[in-house]
Amino acid sequence: MTTRSTQRIAMALAAGAVLVAGLSACVPLVVGGAAAVGVGMVATDRRSSGAQVDDQGIELRGGARIREIANDNMYVTITSFNRQVLLTGSVGTEADRVKVEEVVRRVDNVRSVVNELTVGPPASFQDRSNDTFISGKVKASLLDAKDVFANSFKVVTERGTVYMMGIATRRETDRATDIARGVSGVTKVVRVVEIVSEQDLANIQSQPQQQPSQGGATQGGTGGASSSRVPLPPMEPLPSTPSGGATTSPVR
Protein backbone atom coordinates (compact mmCIF):
# COMPACT_ATOMS: atom_id res chain seq x y z
CA MET A 1 0.00 0.00 0.00
CA THR A 2 1.38 3.42 -0.94
CA THR A 3 2.02 6.20 1.55
CA ARG A 4 -0.65 8.32 -0.13
CA SER A 5 -3.21 5.51 0.19
CA THR A 6 -2.31 5.05 3.84
CA GLN A 7 -2.75 8.77 4.47
CA ARG A 8 -6.17 8.76 2.81
CA ILE A 9 -7.33 5.82 4.96
CA ALA A 10 -6.00 7.46 8.12
CA MET A 11 -7.72 10.70 7.14
CA ALA A 12 -11.02 8.92 6.64
CA LEU A 13 -10.76 7.20 10.02
CA ALA A 14 -9.90 10.50 11.71
CA ALA A 15 -12.84 12.22 10.04
CA GLY A 16 -15.13 9.48 11.30
CA ALA A 17 -13.85 9.93 14.84
CA VAL A 18 -14.39 13.69 14.64
CA LEU A 19 -17.91 13.13 13.32
CA VAL A 20 -18.82 10.94 16.29
CA ALA A 21 -17.47 13.52 18.73
CA GLY A 22 -18.75 16.57 16.88
CA LEU A 23 -22.34 15.31 16.60
CA SER A 24 -22.82 14.80 20.32
CA ALA A 25 -25.36 17.47 21.28
CA CYS A 26 -24.44 17.34 24.96
CA VAL A 27 -20.78 18.33 24.44
CA PRO A 28 -20.43 22.15 24.25
CA LEU A 29 -16.68 22.15 23.62
CA VAL A 30 -14.49 20.52 20.98
CA VAL A 31 -10.69 20.54 20.94
CA GLY A 32 -8.82 20.55 17.66
CA GLY A 33 -7.49 17.02 17.83
CA ALA A 34 -3.76 17.74 18.21
CA ALA A 35 -3.57 14.99 20.82
CA ALA A 36 -4.30 12.45 18.08
CA VAL A 37 -1.07 13.18 16.21
CA GLY A 38 0.76 9.95 15.43
CA VAL A 39 4.42 9.16 14.92
CA GLY A 40 4.18 9.50 11.14
CA MET A 41 2.54 12.91 11.41
CA VAL A 42 5.22 14.12 13.84
CA ALA A 43 7.88 13.19 11.32
CA THR A 44 6.22 15.11 8.46
CA ASP A 45 4.87 18.08 10.42
CA ARG A 46 6.61 21.42 9.87
CA ARG A 47 6.18 22.33 13.52
CA SER A 48 8.91 21.26 15.88
CA SER A 49 8.02 18.28 18.08
CA GLY A 50 8.05 20.70 21.02
CA ALA A 51 5.48 22.93 19.32
CA GLN A 52 3.29 19.91 18.61
CA VAL A 53 3.38 18.91 22.27
CA ASP A 54 2.61 22.50 23.27
CA ASP A 55 -0.37 22.55 20.89
CA GLN A 56 -1.77 19.44 22.55
CA GLY A 57 -1.40 21.06 25.96
CA ILE A 58 -2.91 24.35 24.80
CA GLU A 59 -6.00 22.63 23.45
CA LEU A 60 -6.50 20.51 26.57
CA ARG A 61 -5.83 23.29 29.08
CA GLY A 62 -7.77 25.82 27.03
CA GLY A 63 -10.70 23.44 26.84
CA ALA A 64 -10.64 22.95 30.60
CA ARG A 65 -10.67 26.70 31.21
CA ILE A 66 -13.55 27.25 28.81
CA ARG A 67 -15.55 24.54 30.57
CA GLU A 68 -15.15 26.50 33.81
CA ILE A 69 -17.05 29.45 32.31
CA ALA A 70 -19.30 27.51 29.92
CA ASN A 71 -23.06 27.96 29.76
CA ASP A 72 -25.83 26.42 27.70
CA ASN A 73 -25.29 28.90 24.86
CA MET A 74 -21.61 28.10 24.25
CA TYR A 75 -20.44 25.73 21.53
CA VAL A 76 -16.72 26.37 21.10
CA THR A 77 -14.02 24.61 19.09
CA ILE A 78 -10.43 25.36 20.15
CA THR A 79 -7.64 24.51 17.70
CA SER A 80 -3.95 25.26 18.23
CA PHE A 81 -1.24 25.21 15.57
CA ASN A 82 2.32 26.28 16.35
CA ARG A 83 1.00 27.92 19.53
CA GLN A 84 -1.52 30.07 17.65
CA VAL A 85 -5.11 29.40 18.71
CA LEU A 86 -8.20 29.51 16.51
CA LEU A 87 -11.58 29.80 18.22
CA THR A 88 -14.62 28.80 16.19
CA GLY A 89 -18.23 28.08 17.06
CA SER A 90 -20.86 30.22 18.74
CA VAL A 91 -21.68 31.91 22.04
CA GLY A 92 -24.78 33.60 23.40
CA THR A 93 -23.44 37.11 23.95
CA GLU A 94 -20.59 39.39 22.95
CA ALA A 95 -19.46 39.34 26.60
CA ASP A 96 -19.09 35.55 26.40
CA ARG A 97 -17.14 35.91 23.15
CA VAL A 98 -14.67 38.24 24.85
CA LYS A 99 -14.51 36.10 27.99
CA VAL A 100 -13.62 32.93 26.06
CA GLU A 101 -10.77 34.71 24.29
CA GLU A 102 -9.47 36.15 27.55
CA VAL A 103 -9.28 32.80 29.34
CA VAL A 104 -7.57 31.16 26.35
CA ARG A 105 -4.99 33.94 26.06
CA ARG A 106 -3.89 33.17 29.64
CA VAL A 107 -3.05 29.54 28.81
CA ASP A 108 0.69 28.78 28.97
CA ASN A 109 2.51 29.01 25.63
CA VAL A 110 -0.30 30.71 23.67
CA ARG A 111 1.25 33.43 21.53
CA SER A 112 -1.85 34.69 19.71
CA VAL A 113 -5.58 34.04 19.42
CA VAL A 114 -7.74 34.37 16.31
CA ASN A 115 -11.29 34.74 17.61
CA GLU A 116 -13.82 33.66 14.98
CA LEU A 117 -16.64 32.95 17.44
CA THR A 118 -20.06 34.20 16.38
CA VAL A 119 -22.83 35.47 18.62
CA GLY A 120 -25.99 33.50 18.02
CA PRO A 121 -27.50 30.01 18.14
CA PRO A 122 -25.19 27.00 17.81
CA ALA A 123 -24.75 25.08 14.59
CA SER A 124 -27.40 22.46 13.95
CA PHE A 125 -26.83 18.72 13.74
CA GLN A 126 -27.02 18.98 9.95
CA ASP A 127 -24.54 21.89 9.91
CA ARG A 128 -21.99 19.92 11.91
CA SER A 129 -22.46 16.87 9.68
CA ASN A 130 -21.88 18.99 6.59
CA ASP A 131 -18.84 20.68 8.12
CA THR A 132 -17.22 17.35 8.92
CA PHE A 133 -17.88 16.15 5.39
CA ILE A 134 -16.46 19.37 3.88
CA SER A 135 -13.29 19.14 6.01
CA GLY A 136 -12.75 15.59 4.79
CA LYS A 137 -13.20 16.63 1.15
CA VAL A 138 -10.79 19.56 1.51
CA LYS A 139 -8.14 17.37 3.16
CA ALA A 140 -8.52 14.72 0.48
CA SER A 141 -8.26 17.34 -2.27
CA LEU A 142 -5.07 18.74 -0.73
CA LEU A 143 -3.67 15.23 -0.50
CA ASP A 144 -4.48 14.56 -4.15
CA ALA A 145 -2.77 17.74 -5.34
CA LYS A 146 0.74 17.12 -6.65
CA ASP A 147 2.06 20.59 -5.87
CA VAL A 148 0.93 21.01 -2.23
CA PHE A 149 2.28 19.32 0.88
CA ALA A 150 -1.03 18.37 2.54
CA ASN A 151 0.46 18.07 6.03
CA SER A 152 1.33 21.77 5.90
CA PHE A 153 -2.28 22.63 6.71
CA LYS A 154 -4.81 21.87 9.41
CA VAL A 155 -8.41 22.25 8.21
CA VAL A 156 -11.33 23.35 10.41
CA THR A 157 -14.81 23.97 9.00
CA GLU A 158 -17.59 25.97 10.64
CA ARG A 159 -20.93 26.38 8.79
CA GLY A 160 -19.28 26.11 5.40
CA THR A 161 -16.37 28.43 6.20
CA VAL A 162 -13.06 26.60 5.90
CA TYR A 163 -10.22 27.73 8.18
CA MET A 164 -6.73 26.73 7.09
CA MET A 165 -3.94 26.78 9.66
CA GLY A 166 -0.33 25.96 8.92
CA ILE A 167 3.23 26.93 8.06
CA ALA A 168 3.63 27.46 4.33
CA THR A 169 5.03 29.65 1.60
CA ARG A 170 2.87 32.23 -0.13
CA ARG A 171 2.67 29.98 -3.22
CA GLU A 172 1.56 26.97 -1.17
CA THR A 173 -1.00 29.04 0.72
CA ASP A 174 -2.51 30.52 -2.45
CA ARG A 175 -2.60 27.12 -4.11
CA ALA A 176 -4.23 25.45 -1.09
CA THR A 177 -6.77 28.28 -0.94
CA ASP A 178 -7.68 27.73 -4.59
CA ILE A 179 -8.11 24.01 -3.93
CA ALA A 180 -10.34 24.59 -0.91
CA ARG A 181 -12.43 27.15 -2.78
CA GLY A 182 -13.13 24.57 -5.45
CA VAL A 183 -14.66 22.06 -3.02
CA SER A 184 -18.45 21.90 -3.11
CA GLY A 185 -20.12 23.30 0.00
CA VAL A 186 -17.31 25.73 0.86
CA THR A 187 -18.65 29.28 1.19
CA LYS A 188 -15.48 31.05 2.32
CA VAL A 189 -11.84 30.29 3.10
CA VAL A 190 -10.08 31.95 6.05
CA ARG A 191 -6.31 31.56 6.14
CA VAL A 192 -4.59 31.52 9.52
CA VAL A 193 -1.21 30.61 8.09
CA GLU A 194 2.34 31.55 8.99
CA ILE A 195 3.82 32.68 5.69
CA VAL A 196 7.49 31.72 5.32
CA SER A 197 9.93 32.26 2.49
CA GLU A 198 11.23 29.42 0.36
CA GLN A 199 14.57 29.76 2.17
CA ASP A 200 12.90 29.64 5.59
CA LEU A 201 11.04 26.52 4.47
CA ALA A 202 14.28 24.88 3.33
CA ASN A 203 15.81 25.68 6.72
CA ILE A 204 12.82 24.16 8.54
CA GLN A 205 12.97 21.00 6.48
CA SER A 206 16.72 20.61 6.99
CA GLN A 207 16.48 20.76 10.78
CA PRO A 208 16.16 17.42 12.61
CA GLN A 209 13.10 17.00 14.78
CA GLN A 210 13.89 17.72 18.44
CA GLN A 211 12.37 15.70 21.22
CA PRO A 212 10.33 17.64 23.79
CA SER A 213 12.35 18.54 26.86
CA GLN A 214 11.34 16.89 30.11
CA GLY A 215 13.01 19.41 32.37
CA GLY A 216 12.17 22.80 30.90
CA ALA A 217 12.24 24.97 27.84
CA THR A 218 14.93 24.60 25.21
CA GLN A 219 16.53 27.92 24.39
CA GLY A 220 16.20 28.97 20.78
CA GLY A 221 14.15 30.84 18.21
CA THR A 222 10.56 30.62 17.13
CA GLY A 223 9.20 27.09 17.04
CA GLY A 224 11.94 25.50 19.16
CA ALA A 225 11.20 22.48 21.31
CA SER A 226 9.96 23.09 24.81
CA SER A 227 8.16 21.54 27.72
CA SER A 228 4.47 22.39 27.52
CA ARG A 229 4.55 23.01 31.27
CA VAL A 230 6.87 26.00 30.97
CA PRO A 231 5.58 29.33 29.62
CA LEU A 232 7.55 30.63 26.65
CA PRO A 233 8.56 34.26 26.15
CA PRO A 234 6.46 36.26 23.67
CA MET A 235 7.06 35.19 20.08
CA GLU A 236 7.41 37.43 17.05
CA PRO A 237 4.19 38.47 15.25
CA LEU A 238 3.15 36.31 12.34
CA PRO A 239 4.68 37.63 9.11
CA SER A 240 2.75 38.82 6.06
CA THR A 241 -0.73 38.62 7.58
CA PRO A 242 -3.21 41.28 8.73
CA SER A 243 -3.98 41.94 12.40
CA GLY A 244 -5.07 38.73 14.09
CA GLY A 245 -3.38 36.49 11.55
CA ALA A 246 -6.51 35.71 9.53
CA THR A 247 -6.86 36.41 5.82
CA THR A 248 -10.33 35.95 4.35
CA SER A 249 -10.69 34.54 0.84
CA PRO A 250 -14.35 34.52 -0.26
CA VAL A 251 -15.43 31.93 -2.81
CA ARG A 252 -16.10 33.50 -6.19
Give the model's pLDDT for residue 231: 34
Low-confidence residues of the chain: pLDDT under 50: 9, 13, 15-27, 35-41, 211-244, 252
Per-residue pLDDT at 251 = 59
The pLDDT score that the predictor gives to residue 35 is 46
- Name 86's bridge partners: 79, 114
Maximum distance among all Cα pairs of the chain, rounded to whole angstroms: 51
pLDDT at position 183 is: 97
* pLDDT given at position 175: 96
Pairing of β 188-195 and β 247-250: antiparallel
Amino acid 154 reads: K
Contact 67, 73 (CB under 8 A): no
Q: What distance in Å separates the CA atoms of residue 164 and residue 32, rounded to the nearest whole number?
A: 12
| pTM (two decimals) | 0.73
Please choose, from the candidates 189, 163, 170, the residue with its C-alpha nearest in 3D space to the C-alpha of residue 178.
Answer: 189
The C-alpha angle with vertex 250 and arms to 193 and 45, in degrees rounded to 5, equals 25
In the chain, alpha helices (H)? 3-22, 39-44, 49-69, 94-105, 125-144, 170-181, 198-206
- pLDDT score recorded for residue 42: 53
Q: Give tens-digit pLDDT for 40-52.
A: 445 578 899 999 9
